[in-house]
């Protein structure tokens, strides 16, 4: 088994710097998710591990070996793409077996080959379908064949590029669980690319969030959620997204508050922020609540979305709009009426408006 290390890796396509100065260590046996919006460089980073893109600068290692100039077939990796492209004229058995037949570097004798195919099929619950053609399978079963075809090689590292995006919502949730389970059983390093924060949050040991070719933050899902490093991460992770207000820090008793158009936001942990500084304050919707009596913020209710177990109250306050996520049985609110909002001061995030990076 092996980890993967990017050391100041860059990839340039003509004028486009698709990946810029990426330093990231994927630990041996870790499930690392590369997360970010379309075009941020996730697939390019993954394809460099696979050897499908040349590296413009820096050093990339798999295990102890620098692989910058190692051809794809000599890297001990297997990759699963979004379009999993099975051979339609071959049976499931033959599809799973195909890498062991086609690729000289992993070629194994026929007895070993049959055993590996049987093991991979059993691992992914495909034993009873081995005689079928891909056209005779559901989408989820086909996706599992593509995964079996990858694990049959017993690679050091699995690379997956949005492998679930062709599946419907229910199948995606199910396959997500199966992949986490597969990772647990194999104990192999996984590098998994997605733009879906829910996939990232639910599957990853750690998430690496990218924007515009640059790594923004690396950390365990909960850690990134609780302490986003900058405004990009704060806005990208969490649904509904974090509320973000501009303001000025003011003294409030021993500590600080942030004066915003909606009122003064109390700040529990002030970090590097000082009174009179301009600041951007972030509050997750679940850290605001509707208060029956005057509280930190006020606004007018624009809409209420009832979701059964919770509600989202959309509140307008001069130029700002806030989303409150609280239990459906909270104080009643009428659309168009004034509402008071309480803030949990220990959950308030502060960002520098110039750099966009966290300051508390």
Ligand X SMILES: Nc1ncnc2c1ncn2[C@@H]1O[C@H](COP(=O)(O)OP(=O)(O)OP(=O)(O)O)[C@@H](O)[C@H]1O
Query: 92-102 and 139-151 helices cross at what angle (nearest 10)?
Result: 30
- Please select the residue that binds ligand X; options are 9, 42, 155, 163, rule is CB under 6 A: 42
**b/e code 160-198 from CB counts within 10 Å (16+ = b):** bbbbbeebeeebbeebbebbeebbeebebbbbbbbbbbe
Q: How far apart are CA 274 and CA 257, in angstroms?
A: 10
Binding positions for Mg ion, 27-56, rule CB under 5 A = 43
Q: How far apart are CA 114 and CA 101, in angstroms?
A: 11
Binding segment for ligand X (CB under 6 A), chosen from 32-40, 263-271, 290-298, 316-324, is: 32-40
Binding positions for Mg ion, 155-194, rule CB under 5 A = none
Nearer to Mg ion, 43 or 95 (CB): 43
Q: Least Å distance between CB 90 and Mg ion?
A: 27
Closest CA to 271 of 356, 357, 350, 344: 350
Q: Which residue(s) pair with 266 in the sheet?
A: 257
- Please select the residue that binds ligand X; options are 39, 57, 240, 255, rule is CB under 6 A: 39
Nearer to ligand X, 10 or 243 (CB): 10
Select the binding partner of residue 13 from Mg ion, ligand X, none (C-beta < 5 to 8 A, by kind): ligand X
Closest CA to 208 of 83, 358, 41, 66: 41
In this structure, are residues 95 and 87 in contact, taking their beta carbons and an 8 Å threshold?
yes
Number of residues that bind ligand X (CB under 6 A): 12
- Please select the residue that binds ligand X; options are 1, 13, 73, 131, rule is CB under 6 A: 13
In this structure, are residues 140 and 175 in contact, taking their beta carbons and an 8 Å threshold?
yes
Q: Least Å distance between CB 44 and Mg ion?
A: 8
Nearer to ligand X, 50 or 90 (CB): 50
Nearer to ligand X, 77 or 265 (CB): 77
Residue 40 found at the interface with ligand X (CB under 6 A): yes
Residue 48 found at the interface with ligand X (CB under 6 A): no
Select the binding partner of residue 16 from Mg ion, ligand X, none (C-beta < 5 to 8 A, by kind): ligand X
Q: Least Å distance between CB 34 and ligand X?
A: 8
Binding positions for ligand X, 162-201, rule CB under 6 A = 195
Select the binding partner of residue 227 from ligand X, Mg ion, none (C-beta < 5 to 8 A, by kind): none
Closest CA to 220 of 212, 228, 232: 228
Q: How far apart are CA 164 and CA 167, in angstroms?
A: 6
Q: How far apart are CA 95 and CA 150, in angstroms?
A: 10
Residue 18 found at the interface with ligand X (CB under 6 A): yes
Q: What is the DSSP letter of 71?
A: -
Nearer to ligand X, 45 or 281 (CB): 45
Closest CA to 160 of 204, 118, 127, 99: 204
Q: Name the burial class of residue 272, with classes exposed (0-12), middle (13-18) and buried (19+) by CB atoms within 10 angstroms of its CB.
A: exposed
Residue 52 found at the interface with ligand X (CB under 6 A): no
Residue 207 found at the interface with ligand X (CB under 6 A): no
Residue 15 found at the interface with ligand X (CB under 6 A): no
Binding-site ranges for Mg ion (CB under 5 A): 43
Residues in contact with ligand X by CB under 6 A are 13, 16, 18, 36, 38-44, 195
């Amino acid at each position: 088994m092996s980890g993967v290390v990017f050391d100041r890796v860059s990839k340039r396509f003509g004028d486009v710097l698709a990946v810029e100065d990426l330093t990231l260590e994927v630990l041996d046996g870790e499930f690392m998710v590369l997360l970010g919006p379309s075009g941020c460089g996730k697939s390019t980073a993954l394809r460099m591990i696979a050897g499908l893109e040349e590296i413009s600068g820096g050093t990339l290692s798999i295990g102890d070996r620098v692989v910058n100039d190692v051809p794809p077939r000599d890297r001990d990796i297997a990759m699963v793409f979004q379009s999993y492209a099975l051979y339609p004229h071959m049976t499931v058995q033959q599809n799973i077996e195909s890498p062991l037949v086609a690729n000289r570097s992993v070629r194994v004798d026929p007895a070993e080959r049959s055993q590996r195919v049987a093991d991979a099929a059993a691992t992914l619950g495909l034993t009873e379908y081995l005689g079928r053609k891909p056209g005779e399978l559901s989408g989820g079963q086909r996706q599992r064949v593509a995964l079996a075809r990858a694990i049959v090689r017993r690679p050091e590292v699995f690379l997956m590029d949005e492998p679930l995006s062709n599946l419907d919502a229910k199948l995606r949730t199910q396959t997500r669980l199966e992949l986490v389970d597969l990772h647990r059983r194999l104990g192999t390093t996984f590098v998994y690319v997605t733009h879906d924060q829910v996939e990232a949050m639910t599957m990853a040991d750690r998430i690496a969030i990218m924007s515009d070719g640059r790594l923004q933050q690396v950390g365990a899902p909960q850690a990134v959620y609780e302490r986003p490093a900058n405004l990009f991460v704060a806005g990208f992770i969490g649904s509904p997204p974090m509320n973000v207000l501009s303001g000025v820090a003011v003294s409030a008793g021993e500590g600080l508050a942030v004066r915003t158009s909606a009122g003064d936001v109390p700040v529990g942990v002030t970090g590097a922020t000082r009174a009179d500084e301009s600041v951007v304050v972030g509050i997750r919707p679940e850290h605001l609540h509707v208060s029956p009596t005057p509280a930190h913020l006020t606004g007018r209710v624009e809409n209420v979305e009832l979701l059964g177990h919770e509600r989202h109250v959309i509140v307008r306050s001069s130029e700002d709009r806030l989303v409150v996520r609280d239990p459906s049985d909270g104080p009643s609110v009428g659309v168009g009426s004034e509402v008071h909002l309480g803030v949990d001061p220990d959950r308030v995030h502060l960002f520098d408006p110039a750099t966009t990076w966290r300051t508390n």
